[in-house]
Chain A
Amino acid sequence: MAIAKKAFVWGLFAAGGTVTAFVFPVLIALFLIVALGNVPEGLQFENIHAFATNWLGKAALFIVISLSLWHAAHRLRVVFHDFGVRMDKAVANAVYLVALIGTVMTAFYLYQI
């Protein structure tokens, strides 16, 4: 008997959940503020581009997005189980694949900025 591999994904889920709980409300709020027509100074192209060029900005964006993706993926796997879908292995592979793709895309775009 040994500790299941689920320990690893759960760790990502827990870290991701903490990050999203603290950071996502303000992120969504920024989308809402832009949607309401009021684009603040920091979200003008030059400024946000500068933020994402800075390595600290890149690190913050990467950590927030990738952890959130893994959190959502693992939780979605549990949601499928809770809704009665019993193909856990298939569901797990699918959701983690999407999280992996998202993580790679994040790294790719951050590298390009």
Chain B
Amino acid sequence: MSRQPYIRPVSKTTWYMRNGRYRKYMLREVTCLLVGVYSFLTIWVLATLASGSPESWNALLASQQTPAMIGFHAFALIYFLIYQSFDWFKLAPKAMPVQLGEKKLPDRYIIIAHYVAWAVVSLFVFWLAGVI
């Protein structure tokens, strides 16, 4: 009896199209591009502040007030919330199990705690910014 194990080929570039689980994973991972973009946008904000002039600051604010930027920020906000923040909160209980006596704290309490913390942080920043 001769052995000849058959190795099924896996595409290194399109494997994630195979099922919904993998596709959602890729959609989650590419949020890093948004993180990069907004990190550098914020650095640009700092650079403008460092220049010290209210004129350049107002110019920066004005540069955001185009339909394209509105669309981009709105898309980024929704995409980021769904595929980064909410996914991160959903996965957090796996990394931080809490045992109370003999029972494990159900995941949903940890997830809810994350949502509450997120709401508190967001409201705080909105308050700092004078939005509320």
Which A residues are closer than 8 A to B by beta carbons? 14, 16-18, 20-37, 39-43, 45-49, 51-52, 61, 64-65, 68-69, 71-73, 75-76, 78-79, 82-84, 86, 98, 102, 105-106, 109-110, 112-113
- The answer to whether A49 and B118 touch across the interface, beta carbons within 8 angstroms, is no
Interface string of B67-97 (1 = CB under 8 A from A): 0011001101100110011001100000100
CB-based nearest B residue for A79: B29
- The answer to whether B122 and A25 touch across the interface, beta carbons within 8 angstroms, is yes
- The answer to whether A79 and B35 touch across the interface, beta carbons within 8 angstroms, is no
Chain A residues near B88 (CB-CB < 8 A):
17-18, 21
CB distance from A39 to the nearest CB of B (A): 6
The 5 closest A-B CB pairs, nearest first, are A41-B130, A42-B130, A75-B32, A84-B12, A84-B13
CA distance A102 to B38 in the complex (A): 12
- The answer to whether B36 and A72 touch across the interface, beta carbons within 8 angstroms, is yes
Instruction: Please tell me the number of chain B residues within 8 Å of chain A, measured between CB atoms.
Output: 55
- The answer to whether A28 and B80 touch across the interface, beta carbons within 8 angstroms, is yes
Chain A residues near B85 (CB-CB < 8 A):
21-22, 24-25
CB-defined A-B contacts under 8 Å, sample of 21: A21-B89, A26-B125, A30-B129, A31-B38, A31-B69, A32-B73, A35-B65, A35-B69, A39-B61, A45-B58, A49-B52, A69-B39, A72-B39, A75-B35, A82-B29, A86-B12, A98-B36, A102-B40, A105-B46, A109-B49, A110-B46
CA distance A11 to B47 in the complex (A): 28
CB distance from A56 to the nearest CB of B (A): 11
- The answer to whether A28 and B38 touch across the interface, beta carbons within 8 angstroms, is yes
Chain A residues near B13 (CB-CB < 8 A):
83-84
- The answer to whether A24 and B35 touch across the interface, beta carbons within 8 angstroms, is yes
A27-B42, A39-B61, A79-B29 as given contacts; A113 in contact with B49, CB under 8 Å: yes
